[in-house]
Amino acid sequence: MPNLPKIGVVLATTRPGRFADRPAKWIMDLAAAHGGAEFELIDLRDWPMPFFNEPVPVSRAPVTDLVAQKWTQKVASLDGFLFVTAEYNHSFPAVLKNALDYVYKEFNRKPAAYIAYGGVGGARAVEQLRLVCVELQMAPLRDAVHISRTEFVGMLMEGKDFADYPHLAQTAGIMLSDLIWWTKALKRARDADLKGAPVPDDDAE
């Protein structure tokens, strides 16, 4: 089996009764069928970091909190990220911002894609999340899956499922293909940097 790149699917909300588990399971199933990368579900409930209060910015020194140290190692082990996020007050959840603030260089030069739900399909949360990803020197992707209020209410209150909204799977397929392409391309470039070698050209004979 080829050495597949590793992509973390990050659940960005931890509150009881969250909706996030449903799109996370849905995209994990689609990703398994899509192939091309190894996807791992990353639940921020499993990473109970305190509110960021480090004495030195993480871009300059390692974190001191033990859970945050393990979180940093987990981020370092991944080659790309897919954030599954709610929209809270026109932005993304604080628990995700806290997790992002604890890490810097381990996020650098890695792609990020998004699934969002809430007002206007969580678009405002994704726009703000993209800005944070840029500051972390990530490569945020254009295509995202936006679960609108109609779809959200249909699944939450009316017994519907993702199969009732096939356009979401179409969008997800485009997003996954793009994310896997960027994950592989940036991994090759990072690996070449570590070896001090030129980036391999896929079109070279």
Give the model's pLDDT for residue 165.
97
* pLDDT number for residue 197: 56
How far is 51 from 94, CA to CA, in rounded Å?
Answer: 9
**C-alpha to C-alpha distances, 50 to 66, 69, 144, nearest whole angstrom:** 10, 12, 30
Phi, psi (deg, nearest 5) at residue 84 = -105, 110
Cα–Cα distances (Å) from 30 to 37, 76, 80, 168, 178, in that order, read 12, 24, 17, 11, 14
* Residue 161 burial (C-beta neighbours within 10 Å; 0-12, 13-18, 19+): exposed
Is the distance from CB of 133 to CB of 163 less than 8 angstroms?
no
pLDDT at site 123: 97
Tokens of residue 116, six digits: 């969002």
Domains and CATH numbers, the chain: 6-195 (3.40.50.360)
- Residue 188 backbone phi and psi in degrees, to 5: -60, -45
Query: Quick one: tokens of 204?
Result: 């070279």
| Mutual angle of helices 94-101 and 123-135, in 10-degree steps | 10
Q: Convert the pLDDT of each residue in 145-184 to its tens digit.
A: 999 999 999 999 999 999 999 999 999 999 999 999 999 9
The answer, yes or no, to whether residue 8 has pLDDT greater than 60, is yes
Which letter does DSSP use for residue 91 in this model? B
Q: With cut-offs at 50, 70 and 90, classify the pLDDT of residue 2.
A: low
Whole-structure pTM value: 0.93
Residue 195 binned pLDDT confidence (cut-offs 50, 70, 90): confident
DSSP 16: T
> At a CB cut-off of 8 Å and minimum separation 6, what does 61 contact?
54
User: How does pLDDT run across 35-65, given as a tens digit for each residue?
Assistant: 999 999 999 999 999 999 999 999 999 999 9
How do residues 75-96 score in pLDDT, each as one tens digit?
A: 999 999 999 999 999 999 999 9
pLDDT at 205: 36
Note the pLDDT of residue 22: 97
The Cα–Cα gap between 101 and 28 comes to 26
